[in-house]
Amino acid sequence: MWRQGFVAAAERDAAASANKAAQAVLLRSQAQRRFLQMVAPADGEILQRDVEVGQVVSPGQALLYLACCAPMRVVAEVDEEDIGRVQQGQPVVLGADALPGKTFDGVVSSITPKGDPLTRSYRVRIAIDQPERFRVGMTVDANVILARRERALLLPRSALREGLVWRVQDGRLTQVRVTTGASMGDQVEIRSGIGPDDLIVSVPDEQLAVGQVVRIRQAEAGPARTGSAP
């Protein structure tokens, strides 16, 4: 129409300028939309959200924490004095305060080649046989099995007081010093000092005395247990 003289050149130029301005506004809006749109780098599960809708955030602030790309595992810190005895593929016994009375099997899957110079420890990753029983962020006790001793003598940790246990002998209390070995959860291995048939006070108190006459009740005393110790 401009070539035919129906539209003045000034109107054509104004329309072209308006079109360029509209295109610039569109491009800016599209860029702002991409900037404001959050896209996860991979499929996963949102573990924590630290913001609310409408909240003003600062550049670089973490908004969401995402778990993805790796199965549930336990990460343990092992002192440099002990890391030489930990090898990939070793079995691990796991326990958690959130799951009292239960233990779970695991295996050392990897060991970081470089340690932390501040904590003087190495990070060990442990694969779990029953990952569905755990939750992200849960505190777990990990016992790496270095060796096995069948029919090891085990006592509850509460029975020991500075290396001593209370034994019931002929209806009276005696104190016996024991040598301990490995520990796992609330159980401690006893290497020497008592035998599997001895009756030991599981939860002694300050009122006990050597030679004191006692009556055996299951809640207070019981035979030392045997089992498998790591």
What is the maximum span of the chain, computed from C-alpha positions, in angstroms? 125
Task: Compute the CA torsion angle 213, 219, 223, 224 (nearest 10 deg).
Answer: -110
Tens digit of pLDDT at every position of the chain (230 positions): 555 555 676 777 788 888 888 999 999 888 888 777 777 777 777 878 888 888 888 888 888 887 777 778 899 999 998 899 899 999 999 988 888 888 899 999 999 999 888 999 999 999 998 888 888 888 898 888 887 777 888 889 899 988 899 999 888 999 999 998 877 667 888 899 988 888 888 888 888 888 888 887 654 444 444 444 44
What pLDDT was estimated at residue 230? Answer: 44
CA 159/CA 157 separation, integer angstroms: 5
> What CATH number has the domain spanning 73-144?
2.40.30.170
Measure CA 126 to chain center: 10
Where are the domain boundaries for CATH 2.40.420 in the chain? 149-229
Asked: is 149-229 a CATH 1.25.40 domain? The reply is: no
- Tell me what pLDDT residue 126 has: 94
pLDDT at 227: 43
- As annotated, the residues of the chain forming the CATH 2.40.30.170 domain(s) are 73-144
**Burial of 228 from C-beta contacts in 10 A (0-12 / 13-18 / 19+):** middle
Residue 218: the pLDDT is 57
Which pLDDT does position 228 carry in this prediction?
A: 40
Hey, how many other C-beta atoms are within 10 angstroms of the C-beta on 123? Answer: 17
